Copies of this chain bind each other. A is one copy, B any other.
Amino acid sequence: MATARLRDVAERAGVSIRTVSNVVNGYAQVSEETRRRVEKAVAELGYRPNLLARNLKRGRTGLLALVVPELDVPYFSELARAVIAEARTYGYTVVIDQTDGEPDRERELIMRGASAALFDGVILSPLSLSQADLARRDGSDPLVLLGERIAESPYDHVAIDNVAAAYTATEHLLDLGRTRIAAVGDQPYDTGETAQLRTRGYRDAHAARGLAVDESLVVATPRFHRSDGAAAMAALLDRPDGPPDAVFCYNDLLALGAIRTLLTRGLRIPEDVAVVGFDDIEAGRYNTPTLTTISPDKAAIARLAVQRITGRLGDGPQQPPVELWAPHRLEIRESTAGS
């Protein structure tokens, strides 16, 4: 079969070539009925827009890049699923790359994408990009930052309120009568603003009740993996002044690692040590005990990010960069509630 062209689709759908083009390119000014007719013809004929030709003509590729530190950290793979689903509703294909949080790799990706005009937009969850790095970016394609806020950046930013979320998690443990609550996952300021915000929420929750924070219970970890949580928990259990009675971990992987250490040492959860995580990944919902956690609304994060990209690709006047906040909630499960 010869390759179907735009005009073949138009003929079959009984519409103009321009209308087919509008549908294929995801423009809004097409009635739902017409869109359905065109999409049916596209499917029947197996029509596929020539991306390279489109690229040349419109300077667009139909591709969004999602750049995350680590795909095998479930929070990012679950977020990727949400971004892919959201982008598809706008006719965009998402391609994904991971940086391992290496500054060079992150820089390379935001620069390379721009210079090669491969992507119509980039959604980036940076671990270590600085303001200076971003300022050097000369691409005009939209960039949306996820998670970590980079002060004074000229780009849109989507996040949850990390201070409020950590406050809620800590408050929950205080409400349970816990008095020695460890915070696991702190990071130095230059590479971990998100972690710093969570530590602030942890401190604020103590301060609101007039409680002093035992600084030795605020524990930094090299990364946010299960092995880091397991090691941090082991160190906490070996303290001469005895173990904490609760642990707030800055992500679920740290919490699952900490739980493994606690169970291996014969401690009961939550009776001896209550555990709260952050991210609400699926692994925590099937763990024994199931994991109490802060659940960020990943679908909302994806929706806000993709909307900012597509909005900036329109023909209207460019708006100034904004900060958008997605909701979160505390999910109480067995690791604190005990049932």
A112 CB–B CB distance under 8 Å? yes
A94 CB–B CB distance under 8 Å? yes
A50→B287 CA distance, assembly (Å): 47
A93 CB–B CB distance under 8 Å? yes
Q: Which residues of B contact A226 (CB under 8 A)?
A: 282, 285-286
A80→B70 CA distance, assembly (Å): 10
Q: Which residues of chain A from 105 to 137 have a CB within 8 Å of any chain B CB?
A: 108, 111-112, 115-118
Asked whether, in the complex, the Cβ of B72 is within 8 Å of the Cβ of A116, the reply is no
The listed residue (B51, B98, B112, B283) touching A112 by CB distance below 8 A is: B51
Of chain B, the residue at the smallest CB distance from A138 is B3
Q: Which residues of chain A from 161 to 196 have a CB within 8 Å of any chain B CB?
A: none
The listed residue (B77, B230, B263, B288) touching A71 by CB distance below 8 A is: B77
Q: Which residues of B contact A141 (CB under 8 A)?
A: none
A18→B243 CA distance, assembly (Å): 63
Q: A96-B96, A97-B94, A98-B81 are in contact. Are A282 and B118 (CB under 8 A)?
A: no
A256 CB–B CB distance under 8 Å? yes
- State the Cβ distance, A284 to closest chain B Cβ, in Å: 10
Q: Which residues of B contact A256 (CB under 8 A)?
A: 283, 286
Q: Which residues of chain A from 44 to 75 have a CB within 8 Å of any chain B CB?
A: 46, 48, 50-52, 55, 61, 63, 65, 70-72, 74
The listed residue (B3, B97, B98, B283) touching A283 by CB distance below 8 A is: B283
A277 CB–B CB distance under 8 Å? no
A78 CB–B CB distance under 8 Å? yes
Helix, strand, loop or mixed for chain A's interface?
helix
- State the Cβ distance, A111 to closest chain B Cβ, in Å: 6
Q: A72-B78, A108-B48, A111-B48 are in contact. Are A257 and B230 (CB under 8 A)?
A: no
A80→B63 CA distance, assembly (Å): 19
- State the Cβ distance, A161 to closest chain B Cβ, in Å: 25
The listed residue (B52, B78, B94, B116) touching A117 by CB distance below 8 A is: B52
Q: Which residues of B contact A81 (CB under 8 A)?
A: 70-72, 98
A260 CB–B CB distance under 8 Å? yes
A259 CB–B CB distance under 8 Å? yes
Q: A71-B81, A78-B72 are in contact. Are A48 and B115 (CB under 8 A)?
A: yes
Asked whether, in the complex, the Cβ of A288 is within 8 Å of the Cβ of B288, the reply is yes
Which residues on A are within 8 Å of B, measured CB to CB? 3, 46, 48, 50-52, 55, 61, 63, 65, 70-72, 74, 77-78, 80-81, 84, 93-98, 108, 111-112, 115-118, 226, 230, 256-257, 259-260, 263-264, 282-283, 285-288
- Of the A-B pairs whose beta carbons lie under 8 Å apart in the complex, a sample of 23, sorted by A's number, is A3-B115, A50-B115, A51-B116, A52-B115, A52-B116, A52-B117, A52-B118, A63-B118, A70-B81, A71-B71, A71-B81, A72-B78, A72-B80, A74-B74, A80-B98, A81-B98, A84-B97, A93-B112, A95-B97, A226-B285, A260-B286, A260-B287, A287-B287
